[in-house]
Each structure stands twice: as structure tokens, then as C-alpha cells.
């Protein structure tokens, strides 16, 4: 009886640790792209302020840069849903 | 053709009627997502049955909505100011990730959700479409969005009407 209870408790602990790990991993994985997007947007804004006539090109490059950077966060997101119990 | 936003202000030094390249690119990405969707839906259906089909469809929809939402946020924020653009992009990033997470957490409670085809479709479509789109983006200052169509595809009447 005690053995069964111990196994059940251990299983729940493992499931809980999995959920905590998934959440932590997702949060940590979102930090890098956040910094990257900040750098991309900051430089794009700097370019638009310096050369307003090239704002269209800066916005095009910025949008694609944001999307590429966001792919890293999506990898973290995928790991998150794979780890979820 | 590129659409224009007549109400664009000159906060960023833009004149009225400037193009909205991010919106054009996002629409082009969504269009290409529709083109490639049969492939991913077929892979999902063959590998995981109806659950794979539905999961791949959800992933394709999320990718397209993510691009369109990101572009809409930028287009709206650019009309306000550069500061608004910075804030909107960063908070938009968090909001879009939150939206995707919420959708997946809701969808996976149903018995029909398959994680693996969803993950494969999400990552491959997002990155693949971006790489594909990168070859179609102009670096010309005169045409800041997508590359213009080759001259041979434009009839003289169409050209004249521009």
C-alpha cells in the first residue's frame, strides 16, 4: 500500500517538475529573441530617423528580421508544448 | 501592387501616401502559406490521421495569423511615432507569443490534437516561408516592398494606367 502511494506521489512530482521545466524553458527561450527584436527595431528606427527616404526599406528589413528572430522563440514554444504533461 | 496608407503622418519623416511594405510582405507570406498548406496537411494526415491533419491546419493558421498580426501592429504604430513603433513591436511580440500559447493550451485539451505534426508544421512553415520570401523582397529604395513584376508580364495598358 505504501509502495503504491509512494509511486503515485513520485509520478505526480515528475509531472509537476515537467510542467515547471516547460514553463521555465519557454520563458528563458523568449528572452533571447526579445533582446534580438529590440536590437533589430532599435537599429531600424535609427535608420529611419537618419534617412527618412529609406524608411520603406528599413521597415521591410525590420519586419523580416523580427520574423527570423521570432523563429528562435518558436523553437522554445515547440519545446514547451512537447514537454507539457 | 503596393497599397498605400494615405493617413500616414510625417512623424518618421514620411510623406502622405507612403507604401506599407510589411503589410504587403505579410499578405504575400500568408498567400504562400496557403500554397504550401496541401503538402503539410497531407503529411499530417498520412502520418497521424485526422488528428495530424487538424493539428497541421492549426499550425498553418497560427503562422499566417502571426505574420499578419505582426505587420498590422507595425503599420498601426508607424502612423503614431517611432517610440510607439518600438513599444508596439516589443509588446506585440509578447502578445503574439501569449496568443499562440493560449490557442495551443485550449486546443490540446481536445482529443484530436497531435503535438508532433503541429510542431513540425509550425517551425518548417515559419522558417521556410521566411526564407522563400527573402528571395522575393526588393532592396530598391524606389520600390521598398516586394520585387516588382518583370516588365514582360505587365501589358502596356496596365503600365499606362499606373
Nearest to B21 among A60, A80, A81 (CB): A60
Is B63 inside a domain boundary? yes
Determine the residue among B21, B29, B88 to mutate to test chain A binding: the one whose Cβ has the most chain A Cβ atoms within 10 Å. B21
Which portions of chain B are predicted below pLDDT 50?
1-16
- The reported pLDDT for the residue numbered B140 is 75
pLDDT at A24 over 50: yes
Is B153 inside a domain boundary? no
pTM for this predicted structure: 0.81
CA distance B11 to A55: 12
CA dist B1 to B69, B133, B134, Å? 20, 16, 18
User: For chain A, what is the mean pLDDT?
Assistant: 89
The number of distinct structural domains making up chain B is: 1
Is B82 inside a domain boundary? yes
Is B2 inside a domain boundary? no
- The reported pLDDT for the residue numbered A6 is 72
Rounded to 5 degrees, φ, ψ at B143 are -135, 85
CA distance B8 to B18: 7
- Supply the DSSP string of B43-106, one letter for each residue: HHHHHHHHHHHHHHHHHHHHHHHHHHHHHHHHHHHHTT-HHHHHHHHHHHHHHHHHHHHHHHHH
- Supply the DSSP string of B4-51, one letter for each residue: B-TT--STTSPPTT-B-HHHHHHHHHHHHHHHHHHHHHHHHHHHHHHH
- The reported pLDDT for the residue numbered B45 is 94
Nearest to B93 among A26, A70, A75 (CB): A70
- The reported pLDDT for the residue numbered B14 is 43
What the block records as the C-alpha cell of A50 is 537618419
As a whole-number percent, the residues of chain A with pLDDT over 90 amount to 52
Is B10 inside a domain boundary? no
A50 has a chain B CB within 8 A of its CB: no
A30 has a chain B CB within 8 A of its CB: yes
Spacing of C-alpha A48 from chain mean position: 27
Across the interface, whether the CB atoms of B100 and A33 are under 8 A apart is answered: no
- The reported pLDDT for the residue numbered B156 is 60
Chain B, nearest residue to A78 by Cα? B119
ipTM of the complex: 0.83
Residues of chain B contacting A78 with CB distance shorter than 8 Å: 119, 122-123
CA distance B110 to B106: 8
SS3 A2: helix
- Which residue carries 494606367 as its cell? B161
Q: CB within 8 A of B110, min separation 6: which ones?
A: none
Q: How many CA atoms lie within 13 A of A69 on its CB side?
A: 22
Is B96 inside a domain boundary? yes
Mind listing the pLDDT tens digit for each residue in A29-49? 999 999 999 999 999 999 999
Give the domain extent around B133: 20-140
pLDDT at A27 over 70: yes
Across the interface, whether the CB atoms of B141 and A53 are under 8 A apart is answered: yes
Chain A, nearest residue to B101 by Cα? A77
Mind listing the pLDDT tens digit for each residue in A45-73? 999 999 888 888 889 899 999 999 999 99
Residues of chain A contacting B133 with CB distance shorter than 8 Å: 64
Residues of chain A contacting B144 with CB distance shorter than 8 Å: 54-57, 59-60
What the block records as the C-alpha cell of A58 is 528599413
- Residue B123, judged by CB atoms within 10 A of its CB (0-12, 13-18, 19+), counts as middle
Mind listing the pLDDT tens digit for each residue in B28-49? 999 999 999 999 999 999 999 9
Q: CB within 8 A of A36, min separation 6: which ones?
A: A69, A72
What the block records as the C-alpha cell of B31 is 498567400
Is B111 inside a domain boundary? yes
Is B154 inside a domain boundary? no
- The reported pLDDT for the residue numbered B11 is 41
Amino acid at each position: 500500500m505504501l509502495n503504491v502511494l509512494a509511486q503515485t506521489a513520485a509520478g505526480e512530482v515528475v509531472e509537476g517538475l515537467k510542467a515547471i521545466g516547460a514553463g521555465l524553458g519557454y520563458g528563458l527561450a523568449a528572452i533571447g529573441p526579445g533582446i534580438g527584436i529590440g536590437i533589430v527595431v532599435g537599429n531600424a528606427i535609427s535608420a529611419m530617423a537618419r534617412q527618412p527616404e529609406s524608411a520603406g526599406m528599413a521597415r521591410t528589413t525590420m519586419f523580416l528580421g523580427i520574423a527570423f528572430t521570432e523563429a528562435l522563440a518558436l523553437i522554445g514554444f515547440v519545446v514547451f508544448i512537447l514537454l507539457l504533461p | 501592387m503596393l497599397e498605400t496608407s494615405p493617413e500616414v503622418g510625417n512623424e518618421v519623416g514620411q510623406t502622405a501616401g507612403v507604401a506599407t511594405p510589411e503589410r504587403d510582405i505579410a499578405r504575400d507570406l500568408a498567400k504562400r502559406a496557403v500554397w504550401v498548406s496541401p503538402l503539410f496537411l497531407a503529411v499530417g494526415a498520412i502520418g497521424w490521421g485526422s488528428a495530424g491533419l487538424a493539428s497541421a491546419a492549426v499550425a498553418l493558421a497560427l503562422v499566417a495569423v502571426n505574420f499578419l498580426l505582426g505587420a498590422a501592429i507595425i503599420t498601426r504604430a508607424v502612423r503614431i511615432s517611432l517610440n510607439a513603433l518600438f513599444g508596439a513591436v516589443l509588446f506585440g511580440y509578447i502578445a503574439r507569443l501569449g496568443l499562440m500559447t493560449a490557442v495551443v493550451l485550449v486546443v490540446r485539451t481536445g482529443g484530436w490534437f497531435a503535438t508532433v505534426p503541429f510542431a513540425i508544421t509550425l517551425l518548417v512553415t515559419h522558417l521556410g516561408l521566411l526564407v522563400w520570401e527573402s528571395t522575393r523582397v526588393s532592396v530598391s529604395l524606389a520600390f521598398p516592398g516586394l520585387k516588382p513584376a518583370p516588365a514582360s508580364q505587365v501589358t502596356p495598358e496596365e503600365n499606362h494606367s499606373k
